Amino acid sequence: MERVTVALVDDHPVVHEGMRSWLEQDPEHRIELVAAADSVDAVLTGPGRDADVLLLDLNLDGHMAIEEVSRLADAGRRVVVYSEHTDYATVLAVLERGAFTFLAKREAREHCVATILAAADDQPYVPPLSAGTMAADERPDRPLLSEQERTALLLWFQSKSKAAVAARMGIAESTVRQYIQRARIKYANAGRPAPTRTQLLARAIQDGLIRADEVTEYSSRASA
């Protein structure tokens, strides 16, 4: 099997080392870190230009690179935002701008492999903190989640264990996973248009998470 390639944009060399070691802890070594640099341009002009997934630290040189997320998503890059700025507004802003997901630095060790593999395969994956943020979302124009979907997100954030969530909700673990993925797809469906979003939705239709006729046009939502 071909290895998934990932490029890292972060201005702390220590983070590069840490990420390398976490990726190597995957017993099947499915992910290869092909580039690591301290700016988006440095990564994209070097060996990282063809990486399957881009890990982007939001805080570069003391300012927040939230607009970079839109630019990269428009260019068709699968961006996993990777940051310690875990406040509600930042997480939602990043998802809104077409990032594949938001991975908090404190949960990177446990979740980076699963997140990167899912991104490379265009499958939704929601790390716990993003799940909690979606469960807390109260914006008036937020995607409408079902009660079950929201509960699954909330409990997943609390317990970090889909088995425990399944036990709490009295449902199968696969159903828990499906609720969480459906919630993520609803967010993708509501976000601004981007090639990555189209890929995510296409894959979701293929996997039966969502029906083709449930996909809404961004423009219609914006005018609604």
Partner 1 sequence: MPATGSRAAREAFERLLARCAVGLRSGAAAAGGAAALAGLAAPAAAGSVAVAVVLGTAWAALHAAVLLHRWRPWPVLADVAVTAGLCLGQGWLVPAAVLPDATSWVFLVASTTVIVAQLAPWPALGAVATMVVPAAYAGGLALAPGVELPGAVVLLVVQGTLVAALLAVLRRAVRAADLAIAQREAAEREAAVSAARRAEEREHYRMLHDSVSATLTVVAAGGLPASSPVLRTQARHDLQVVEQLHEPVVPARHGDLRRWLEPVLAGARSSVVGGATVLDAPVPPEVGAALAGAVTEALTNVVRHARPAQARVHAGPADGGGVTVEVADDGAGFDTDLVPASRRGISESLVGRMAAVGGTAAVSSVPGLGTRVVLTWPAAPALPVPPEPPEPPVSAVPAVPAVPAVPAVPEPADRPRAGLGEVIAVRYRHGFDLGVIWLVAAWHVGNDLFAMVTSAPAYRSMVVVVLAWLTLAGVAVAGARRLLRRRVDPGGAWLLAGVALAASVAGTAAVPGEAIFTGAAWPWGAAGWFGALILLRRPPAELVGFILANSAATLVLLGSDGALDRVAAARFATVLYGTGALQLTVLLAARALDATARRAAATAEAEAEVRRVREIADELHAGRRDRYSTVHQSVAPLLSGLASGELDPGDREVRHRAAVAASRLRRLFAETDDVADPLLHELRACSYIADQRGVLVDLQVVGRLSGLDRPARRALTEAPLLALAGAERHARVTVVGRSDEVAVSVLVDALAPAPVTPVAVTDAAVTVTVLDASDQRWVEARWRG
Q: Site residues (CB under 8 A) for partner 1?
A: 62, 86, 88, 91, 106, 129, 132-133, 135-138, 154, 157-160, 164, 167-168
CB of 66 to partner 1, least distance (A): 16
Within 10 A of 205 (CB to CB), how many other CB atoms are there? 16
CB of 63 to partner 1, least distance (A): 11
Where does 33-127 have alpha helices with state H?
40-45, 66-74, 88-96, 108-120
Q: Where are the beta strands (DSSP E) in the chain?
A: 4-9, 31-37, 53-57, 59-60, 63-64, 78-83, 101-104
State how far the Cα of 4 lies from the Cα of 120, in Å rounded to an integer: 7
- Among residues 160 and 203, whose Cβ is nearest to partner 1? 160
CB of 128 to partner 1, least distance (A): 8
- Among residues 16 and 168, whose Cβ is nearest to partner 1? 168
CB of 112 to partner 1, least distance (A): 17
- Among residues 160 and 192, whose Cβ is nearest to partner 1? 160
Where does 160-194 have alpha helices with state H?
162-169, 173-190
CB of 104 to partner 1, least distance (A): 8
State how far the Cα of 19 lies from the Cα of 33, in Å rounded to an integer: 9
Token pair in block for residue 133? 């943020």
CB of 20 to partner 1, least distance (A): 23
- Among residues 133 and 196, whose Cβ is nearest to partner 1? 133
- Among residues 55 and 165, whose Cβ is nearest to partner 1? 165
- Among residues 63 and 211, whose Cβ is nearest to partner 1? 63
Region of 182 please: left (phi>0), alpha (psi -120 to 50) or beta: alpha
Calculate helix-pair angle for 195-206, 173-190, nearest 10 degrees: 140
